[in-house]
């Protein structure tokens, strides 16, 4: 008697890896993840540092200069640098964007000793420059984190 044609082929059970290699692999993966996280935090704290630690010198320099230029220009235009004491959701959002520039947030506060002046268009542009510096730095830190995890960057 013939066998039924639609009989499913039996899949072979997966071969488990030797127990001795599994914890080692997991430790290695955790270590790499932790290193990537450190790279991301370093990239946020000091613009370009996340890339510099991975010897991506061109990207590190570009991020450092771009974020630095935006901060200097924004502070020079007397843009509004938001604080944690925001009165509404937009001010809080602006604070998080500004905070994205890490240590350069303190630099902007130092440079803008006279305080913001958004009564002119330059001040309004300065506010955007400062916020963009923060968001660009966050993007760069995320890029450095992904590169450290081994993703193609």
Partner 1 sequence: MRGPLTHLQSMLLFALIISLAFGTLGRRRPAERLKYAAWSFCLFVIVGVAIGWLMFPFSR
Summarize as ranges the residues that interact with partner 1 (CB under 8 A).
58-59, 62-63, 66-67, 69-70, 73, 76-77, 120-122, 125, 128-129, 132, 136, 139-140, 143
Q: State in angstroms the smallest separation of the CB of 77 from partner 1.
A: 7
Residue 38's region, left for phi above 0, alpha for psi from -120 to 50, else beta, is: alpha
Distance CA 36, CA 43 (A): 10
What is the number of residues in the chain? 153
Q: Which is nearer to partner 1, 86 or 123 (CB)?
A: 123
Q: State in angstroms the smallest separation of the CB of 130 from partner 1.
A: 12
Q: Are 53 and 39 in contact (CB under 8 A)?
A: yes
Sign of CA dihedral 91, 93, 94, 96: positive
Q: State in angstroms the smallest separation of the CB of 74 from partner 1.
A: 10
Q: State in angstroms the smallest separation of the CB of 69 from partner 1.
A: 5
Q: Which is nearer to partner 1, 79 or 81 (CB)?
A: 79
Q: Which is nearer to partner 1, 38 or 128 (CB)?
A: 128
Q: Which is nearer to partner 1, 31 or 76 (CB)?
A: 76
Q: Are 100 and 44 in contact (CB under 8 A)?
A: yes
Distance CA 94, CA 114 (A): 20
């Amino acid at each position: 008697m013939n066998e039924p044609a639609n009989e499913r082929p039996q899949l072979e059970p997966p071969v488990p890896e030797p127990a001795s290699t599994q914890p080692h692999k997991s430790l290695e993966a955790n270590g790499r993840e932790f290193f990537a996280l450190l790279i991301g935090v370093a990239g946020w704290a000091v613009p370009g540092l996340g890339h510099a630690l991975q010897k991506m010198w061109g990207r590190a320099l570009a991020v450092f200069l771009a974020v630095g230029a935006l901060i200097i220009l924004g502070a020079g235009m007397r843009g509004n640098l938001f604080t944690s004491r925001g009165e509404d959701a937009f001010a809080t959002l602006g604070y998080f964007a500004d905070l994205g520039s890490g240590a350069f947030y303190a630099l902007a506060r130092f440079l803008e000793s006279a305080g913001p002046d958004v009564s002119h268009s330059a001040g309004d542009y300065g506010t955007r420059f400062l916020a963009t510096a923060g968001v660009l730095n966050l993007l760069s830190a995320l890029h450095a984190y992904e590169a450290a995890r081994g993703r193609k960057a």
